[in-house]
Amino acid sequence: MRKCIYPIFLSACFLLAVLLLKTIWAASPVTYTPLTYQEIGPGLWFTKVEIYKEKQKVETLILVKVDPKKNRFRVLHDKNAKTIEKWQEVTGASVIFNGSYFRENFEPCGLIISDGQIKGHVRNRYMKGMFLAEPQKINSPQAAIIDLTKMSLVSNNLPWSQGLQSFPMLIDKNGTIRVNQSDLRASRTAICTTKDGYVIVVHSEETYFTLYDLANFLKKMPVDVEHALNLDGGMAAELCIRTGGLNYTHYGYQMSNYTGEFSLKGLQAKIPLVVGVFPR
């Protein structure tokens, strides 16, 4: 009996030590490099924010700031899925990034509007927000995010030619973080609107952020976010920039998801749904 007690005691001590270190690591402050935007085109700015914890770099966050008065958005869908670089080659977009979630048959999970054509499902209850652009009515903003928990949509009467639903809403208009904490970490892509009328595309190169961590970080950053809407992540988190001022490409990956799966860094997944930014 005594022979069993000692190994059990050691195992318990080891587990306690791991939990203690994890708690200390989680409580340690996060620091980041200043936001210094580089103009990469008319109405387009780029910055790379390096994030540190305990003096160790844990994440690189890419922010692309877009002036919708000088650039237009297009939501593009093709069941013949492509890598983000191929999407850029086909469309000629200045900036192009992954859209929302899609099914195994490459159809969108929620509603999308692509060049005025409506596709997908209007009443997917999981969809919590919708990015809309290119209004067909005067006095509407060039781009906006609406909260689907606050208003309903009539799919045949939407005054926008581009749009896509996604989830979760990371930050709402009241500044409330609308996602719960979890241990799920992956590369992330999100789209934000600011109180002064800009759109910010957010993309993480590594897998440090849970959705809650990303929302909390965006809320603390000096970017004046009005709404922040999560897009697809993990292997589907992709960003490509081709302007006279910058060439940049990144493919995401994930450490864990609800099924315990992970993906290797460097894979170039083909995706059917993207958002492109084009000069007006």
Mean pLDDT of the chain: 90
**Is residue 228 in a domain?**
yes
Distance CA 23, CA 43 (A): 43
Q: Which residue, among 53, 65, 133, has the nearest Cα to 95 in the 3D structure? A: 65
Residue 248: pLDDT band (50, 70, 90) is very high
Lookup result for tokens 């030619």: 161
Question: Does the residue 51 lie in any domain?
Answer: yes
Q: Are residues 212 and 177 in contact, defined by beta-carbon separation less than 8 angstroms?
A: yes
151 in any annotated domain:
yes
Output the pLDDT for position 24.
Answer: 41
Instruction: For residue 139, name the pLDDT band (cuts at 50, 70, 90).
Output: confident
The whole domain housing 63 covers 31-279
d(CA 235, CA 247): 21
In this structure, is residue 24 part of a structural domain? Answer: no
At 23 the pLDDT is 45
Q: Which residue shows structure tokens 């992540």?
A: 233
User: What's the total number of domains in the chain?
Assistant: 1
Question: Strand locations in 90-142, DSSP E?
Answer: 95-98, 112-114, 117-119, 129-135
Does residue 265 lie within any of the structural domains?
yes
Residue 7 lies in a domain: no
64-73, 112-121, 183-192, 258-267: least confident range: 258-267
Question: Which tens digit of pLDDT belongs to each residue from 40-50?
Answer: 999 999 999 99
Q: Using a pLDDT cut of 70, give the percent of the chain over it.
A: 86
Paired residues of 65 in beta bridges: 45, 200
Q: How far is CA 265 from CA 12, 49, 122, 234, 251, in A?
A: 34, 20, 34, 10, 8
